[in-house]
Amino acid sequence: MEKLQGIPVSPGVVVGEALVLDAEGFRIPERFVSRDAVQAELERLDHAIQAAGEEIARNQDTVSRELGPKYGAIFGAHLEMLRDAQLREELEEMIRREHYSAEYAVSRTFRRYAEVFQRLESAYLAERANDIYDIEKRLLRHLLGRRREQLSHLSSPVLVLAHNLTPSETANLDRRFVRGFVTEVGGPGSHTAIVAAALEIPAVVGTGPFLTRVSGGDLVIIDGDNGLVILHPDEETLARYQYEAEQARSLAVRLQSLRDLPAQTADGVRIELMGNIEFPYEVDHCLERGADGIGLYRTEFLYLGCDKEPDEETHFQAYAQVVRAMGDRPVVIRTLDLGADKVPCVARTEEERNPFLGLRSIRLALRNIPMFRTQLRAILRASALGNVRVMFPLISTVLELRQAKMILGDVMEDLAERGVPFNRNLPVGMMVEVPSAVLLIERFVEEVDFLSIGTNDLIQYTLAVDRTNKDTVGLYNPTDPAVLKLIAMTVQVAKERGTPVNLCGQMSSSPIYTMLLLGLGLRQFSVTPSAIPEIKQVCRCVTIAQCEATAQRALSMENARDIRSYLKEELRKYVPELGG
């Protein structure tokens, strides 16, 4: 049994069989073959080596011809290694003696060689590890027959273990069969993490390397509550997790009974509890849990899996589905937040060195006005169908906000001229997710009808810490005093001016922070739909006075870790069943 600690990004516990994808998405299959399949396995290996050898020789010829023999020699070295008798002997021995599959033998052997190179002091030699990986991939391609595993063509339940999954790959996981996933890389605020929560499957990211120690079909536990991954669990651990899963199921059933009760504190203050969605189907997840509305609709996920821009009708149909389903409850449609780690963007052509500080989100929209106008037209048309609000992301200057509003006004004129119905008084809001927006919040509130605090980005930009990086996860703290101060400043000014303010970052989905946020004056949250029952339960168990005392004490504390432990204690005290 082996335990790995990663970052929990989507709650729940699941036990199942692994489907392992390596760094390039190759599936590493079952480790063993039966005794009578050994000969066939040796023949498969032989064919793969032959085919890979011919391919490399062809590359060598082409490159030598076009660039000269010096460059062709790179492939010559690959060929030599591939045909090395000792290597061949090692591979065959693993198949003969251990009954390993050919793929598994290739993967194990080449990785071991690569690791030796990587450990060498010389940067030049360490680089050679890449050559070894290259040969491994080539062989695997011949053994497996196709380049990347088609995660959409699964036929039995699996837990996906991968080096990395992009937000698009995650969104395209087949929810009927993928019951959970783990990635070696990835940070707590990455959009892969956000999509995992939308899929409502347990997920852990940022475990560090482990894929060489597991193979397809192995038994694995993913504990998405605590960020743990257990490979080859023993009987006792399995039994414990099965018991815990049972407990969690009965808690979920108890909380489900809150569905039709209002999110209201024990002293009668009504809290608005809305859902964050990425895909229209999630409206059902919100309605099932009695959400008061959609507080954040991340529309950029409409771009997933498309190689061209969605047209106005595609936008409109998606929005109309959500708005109609929500009846008269509010739906906050956020304009496109493309770029950075989110959704390969058709609108951007050049690679950026600092994509999170670059042309993302509203900046990209303002550079691509036809695309922006298409979306705004669709939002405005949807506004005739229900209680729609529009929100601009990543606003960092007042000018930027005014520009976005001006384009919106322009599109309104256009529609009015054409007699297309829409809500002239469509409420306009902005995300508060950049420190500059907080510092000048007095000016911003003059310009908008509502605010929504995006802590995922606010944490990243306040503390200068990449939300997708596992190596800086220790700094990515919602409870950092600097972050709390910015939230407090925003809420205070919004209250003074009577501007509604919501908090829609992931922080609002964790019951640990609910008392603190209520104590800071927030009365609206937009959360991952699966978190609605728990957050409602916290609201119903506490009074505003208790929350204010908690927030005051937290604000007086020195560091993120102490504040977090204190908030955990408070949760345990007031809502023991959620305090873990």
Catalytic residues: 191, 504
Q: Beta strand 524-527 with 272-277: parallel, antiparallel or unpaired?
A: parallel
CA 404 from centroid of its chain's CA atoms? 27
Nearer to ligand PEP, 189 or 533 (CB): 189
Q: Which does 41 bind (CB under 5 to 8 A by kind): Mg ion, ligand PEP, none?
A: none
Instruction: Yes or no: say if 309 and 549 are a contact pair by the CB < 8 Å rule.
Output: no
Q: Which of residues 301-340 bind ligand PEP (CB under 6 A)?
A: 337
Q: Closest distance between ligand PEP and the C-beta of residue 514, in Å?
A: 16
Q: Which does 504 bind (CB under 5 to 8 A by kind): Mg ion, ligand PEP, none?
A: ligand PEP
Q: Which does 455 bind (CB under 5 to 8 A by kind): Mg ion, ligand PEP, none?
A: ligand PEP
- Any idea which residue has 């027959």 for tokens? 145
**φ and ψ at residue 475, rounded to 5 degrees:** -95, -15
Tell me the residue number closest to ligand PEP, measured at CB: 454
Site for ligand PEP contains 454 (CB under 6 A): yes
Q: Closest distance between ligand PEP and the C-beta of residue 577, in Å?
A: 28
CA distances from 386 to 57, 329, 500 (A): 64, 8, 19
User: Applying CB under 6 A, which of residues 455, 499, 514, 528 lies at the interface with ligand PEP?
Assistant: 455
Q: Which of residues 155-214 bind ligand PEP (CB under 6 A)?
A: 194
User: Applying CB under 5 A, which of residues 180, 280, 290, 454 lies at the interface with Mg ion?
Assistant: 454
As given in the structure block, the two tokens for residue 192 are 């892969």
**φ and ψ at residue 424, rounded to 5 degrees:** -60, -30
Nearer to ligand PEP, 262 or 358 (CB): 358
- Half-sphere CA count of 222, side-chain side, radius 13 A: 29
The site that binds ligand PEP (CB under 6 A) totals a number of residues, namely 11
Nearer to ligand PEP, 223 or 337 (CB): 337
Q: Closest distance between ligand PEP and the C-beta of residue 335, in Å?
A: 12
List the one residue out of 511, 523, 518 whose CA is nearest residue 550: 518
What b/e readout covers 71-83, taking b as 16+ CB neighbours within 10 angstroms? ebebbeebbebbe
Beta-bridge partner residues of 15: 221
User: Applying CB under 6 A, which of residues 400, 433, 534, 570 lies at the interface with ligand PEP?
Assistant: 433
As given in the structure block, the two tokens for residue 513 are 């922070």
User: Applying CB under 6 A, which of residues 151, 504, 560, 567 lies at the interface with ligand PEP?
Assistant: 504
Phi-psi region of 287 (alpha: psi -120 to 50; beta: other; left: phi over 0): alpha
What is the radius of gyration, based on Cα positions, of the chain?
Answer: 27
Site for ligand PEP contains 505 (CB under 6 A): yes
Site for ligand PEP contains 272 (CB under 6 A): no
Q: Closest distance between Mg ion and the C-beta of residue 395, in Å?
A: 11
Site for Mg ion contains 457 (CB under 5 A): yes
Q: Which helix (H) or strand (E) segment is 80 a member of?
A: helix 69-82
Nearer to ligand PEP, 188 or 511 (CB): 188
Does residue 125 sit in helix, strand or coil?
A: helix
Q: Closest distance between ligand PEP and the C-beta of residue 297, in Å?
A: 10
CA distances from 380 to 117, 282, 299, 390, 427 (A): 59, 21, 14, 9, 11
Site for ligand PEP contains 140 (CB under 6 A): no
Nearer to ligand PEP, 72 or 339 (CB): 339
Instruction: Yes or no: say if 101 and 33 are a contact pair by the CB < 8 Å rule.
Output: yes
49, with CB counted inside 10 A (0-12, 13-18, 19+), is buried
Site map 285..304 versus ligand PEP, x via CB under 6 A: -----------x-x------
Q: Closest distance between ligand PEP and the C-beta of residue 156, in Å?
A: 33
d(CA 394, CA 384): 26
Which residues in this chain contact ligand PEP in the complex, by CB under 6 A?
194, 296, 298, 337, 433, 454-457, 504-505
Which residues in this chain contact Mg ion in the complex, by CB under 5 A?
433, 454, 457
